[in-house]
Amino acid sequence: MSEFQTCPHCGKPAPEENLRCIYCGERLPVESGVIGGFRFGRGRVLFLVVALLVLFGFFILYRLF
């Protein structure tokens, strides 16, 4: 079950994974939401490592063939 935060615009509870309040439609702080967690959390590091490994793999395959 998701945790809730308080919308700074209307004061009603909004799930943390939302980017907009479900009551007033205003944007929630950037730190909230799945994308916000990805940008500022470990997800960004994981994404960069995977992207580098994929690029490295393509480079090795290119050199082999």
Q: What is the pLDDT of residue 32?
A: 46
Question: Which pTM does this prediction carry?
Answer: 0.44
Residue 65: pLDDT over 70: yes
Mean pLDDT over 1-9 rounds to 81
pLDDT, one tens digit per residue, over 22-45 is 999 998 886 644 555 555 556 777
32: which 2 tokens?
A: 């909230």
Counts of helices then strands in the chain (DSSP H, E): 2, 2
Structural domain spans, the chain: 4-64
What contacts 35, CB < 8 A, 6 or more positions away? 19
What contacts 39, CB < 8 A, 6 or more positions away? 30
Q: How confident is the model at residue 51 (pLDDT cuts 50, 70, 90)?
A: very high
